[in-house]
Structure 1
């Protein structure tokens, strides 16, 4: 039977209209808050490509009105599945900006509820990450670190273990202080800035750390590092994730 869905989000951010456009409509900007590596071929006939490992998701740009409106839609699969995004940007007095996002799509089949719930919770995390980026790191380019852990068969146990490894309670709340140690990396000192049943976010002075219950049954790290150090930490995070399930 399937399910057509739509989600609307809105926030006022402490960034200029131009900074918001840069964040949503350029590859380096999207890298600074979204998953994977991103490329944007600009213009009304352009495209957006997001690469995770060996998989690349392509989307056609459907609206291109810089710096106020940007929309793109993924290719429809044979069963009708698709996802689309539309961003609306409106300037406010004293340099702030209203950002609106409309996400929509279609999920095929009769068992769409679980996938929709995962998409809803994951989408909330990514919008919150975009807002955090614009409020705290606007104009800076983040280096993405994306790592997937081993398959998870017991999510409550795995999620609790992750939180303990980060020095958090089993049910962290926004505002909780964080001081965590990952072998081989500098100490992570910051605050929980996002939490729901499928995602936990930590903000530090030079990074946004994101831990997500992945769609394909593993914990996924989607970090954005704003420090000037360009050391590749992928293998270090991979070893840490693997160790959680050892």
Structure 2
């Protein structure tokens, strides 16, 4: 039997309502900070889609109020499960904006694990949205993803990632990192997100790099979800990052 849920997150963003709207209600905008690749038909009743790891999930746009409110909802499955997303935009003084995210729907038997994963995941993605709007306004990011199932426990994975970052000890926000990925230019940046044991983010002058651990109950998957804002071949970068994830020495 399905379980109804609702999850709400608020964040203040250093951007205008129009900039936030472009980021949350258009395909190129979503590609610049969210998971996978998105398409949005710009009207109420239109279709939206999210493609990730070869799977596409489609939804119907149920609210379209530019600069104010955007919402969509997937078609219920045979078990009654569905997901609905609503973004509410409120402009504030001095050009800032408060964004309220409301996600709701029906989850299956393992709903507690899925719910906790969504809560942690949204903290990372909204942090990425804030970084995108603050540091890369007006630019479009190309999404790059890689996956390593059964990578190891969180402690094992983050120790390996810290080693790759050339960090001795725990990963903390503000630390400088240097990372080498075969086939790509050297990466010099700063840790801008440290939501351990779930996620870590690194910001450079031309990219946002995101590393996520799914949790033991969800297969110990190491997920890489990056956004490139420079002139770089996303397909080549994706191949290089997949090879990096596959070869990462996890003890």
Separation of aligned partners in 1, 2:171 and 2:83: 30
Q: Spell out, residue by residue over 1:154-183, the C-alpha distance to the aligned partner (whole angstroms, 9 max, x if none).
A: 343123212221223553122222222222
Separation of aligned partners in 2, 1:123 and 1:239: 27
Q: CA deviation at 1:126?
A: 0.9
Which structure 2 residues correspond to residues 37-56 of structure 1 after superposition, within 5 A?
37-56=37-56
> Greater shift after overlay, 132-141 or 180-189?
180-189
**Conserved? CA contact 1:150–1:245, under 8 Å:** no
Match in the other structure for 1:26: 26
Q: SS where residue 56 of structure 1 aligns?
A: strand
Match in the other structure for 2:92: 92
Match in the other structure for 2:162: 163
Q: SS where residue 67 of structure 2 aligns?
A: coil
Separation of aligned partners in 1, 2:170 and 2:77: 37
Q: CA deviation at 1:11?
A: 2.0
Q: For 1:219, which of 217, 222, 229 is the aligned residue?
A: 222
Match in the other structure for 1:75: 75
Q: CA deviation at 1:2?
A: 4.6
Q: CA deviation at 1:17?
A: 1.5
Match in the other structure for 2:244: 240
Match in the other structure for 2:59: 59
Gap regions ≥5 residues in structure 1? none
Q: CA deviation at 1:115?
A: 2.2
Match in the other structure for 1:195: 194
Alpha-carbon distance change, 137 to 149 in structure 1, aligned in 2, over 3 angstroms: same
Separation of aligned partners in 2, 1:105 and 1:138: 32
Which structure 2 residues correspond to residues 145-164 of structure 1 after superposition, within 5 A?
145-164=144-163
Q: CA deviation at 1:124?
A: 1.3
Q: SS where residue 182 of structure 1 aligns?
A: coil
Q: SS where residue 151 of structure 1 aligns?
A: coil
Q: SS where residue 161 of structure 1 aligns?
A: helix
Q: Spell out, residue by residue over 1:65-112, the C-alpha distance to the aligned partner (whole angstroms, 9 max, x if none).
A: 112100111222222322221111122233222211112222221x42
Separation of aligned partners in 2, 1:105 and 1:164: 39
Separation of aligned partners in 2, 1:209 and 1:86: 26
TM-score (norm 2): 0.90
Separation of aligned partners in 1, 2:167 and 2:111: 32
Separation of aligned partners in 2, 1:216 and 1:56: 21
Which structure 2 residues correspond to residues 110-121 of structure 1 after superposition, within 5 A?
111-121=110-120
Q: CA deviation at 1:191?
A: 1.4
TM-score (norm 1): 0.91
Separation of aligned partners in 1, 2:41 and 2:202: 31
Q: SS where residue 24 of structure 1 aligns?
A: helix
Separation of aligned partners in 1, 2:41 and 2:90: 23
After superposition, the CA RMSD in angstroms is 1.9
